[in-house]
A = this chain, B = another copy of it.
Amino acid sequence: MTRAVVLTSGGLDSSTCLAMAVEKYGAAETEALNILYGQKNDRELASAKKIAEYYGVRYTLLDLRQIFSFSNSSMLRGSTEEIPEESYADQLKKLGGEGTVSTYVPFRNGTMLSSAASFALSRGAEAVMYGAHADDAAGRAYPDCTPEFAEYMGKAIWEGSGRVLRLEAPFINMTKADIVRKGLELHVPYELTWSCYEGREKACGVCGTCRDRLKAFRLNGAEDPIEYERFPEDL
């Protein structure tokens, strides 16, 4: 019997979220749901699968590429936009302090959470979990990572499910550094994760998410166990 469905991407945040779900609900009652949405980087799919295997939880891959095939987000394969080699802070500065970054995929988290809710209800689960956190929400860079979004989406899932399914976003008020601290305590196998937006053999080291990840480890005085092509000079 499944109690919790965790949206996993193979990245640092959702892998830590999966570890928390397994701690709370047990591996036999937790499932990982991984979503293909057309990301340039499909290294993360292999990571998501490995982490689900590591934790011994059932793994399902949903293909939602058609929904996002109308978008030109720089995150997506076939986009005419390049992924910026800048931190989110610098991207936000250029947007005047607030605004959506080019790697935002239109209402991606809403669509992924709704699909996860449909899936979770079919499984008879009581909770959907996802790893959105405060750093991604800053300046509404990713508006579908904000506490406001999570609150309303959670209420929509609760009401729309006939008041049986909860949304849990345990990191919504935490930074990425807080997540790494929690994950190191839980011994999350970060060597299996993949965060880089590019899909090359090693992580690029300079896209927004590589920078954020490296910084989160550094703030914990820990070393990131994955390999990088290069390290940003201005981290």
Interface residues of A (CB under 8 A from B): 62-64, 66-68, 70-72, 99-100, 104-111, 113-115, 117-119, 121-123, 140, 143-144, 146, 148-149, 152-153, 155-157, 159-163, 165
Report chain B residues within 8 Å CB of A144: 159-161
Cβ contact of A160, chosen from B67, B153, B163, cutoff 8 A = B153
The 4 residue pairs across chains A and B that have the minimum distance between CB atoms: A106-B121, A70-B122, A143-B162, A152-B156
Q: A143-B159, A149-B159, A161-B143 are in contact. Are A110 and B118 (CB under 8 A)?
A: yes
Task: Give the distance in Å from the alpha carbon of A107 to the alpha carbon of B163 in the complex.
Answer: 11
Nearest CB to that of A99 among chain B residues? B162
Q: Are B106 and A117 in touch, CB under 8 angstroms?
A: yes
Q: Are A117 and B110 in touch, CB under 8 angstroms?
A: yes
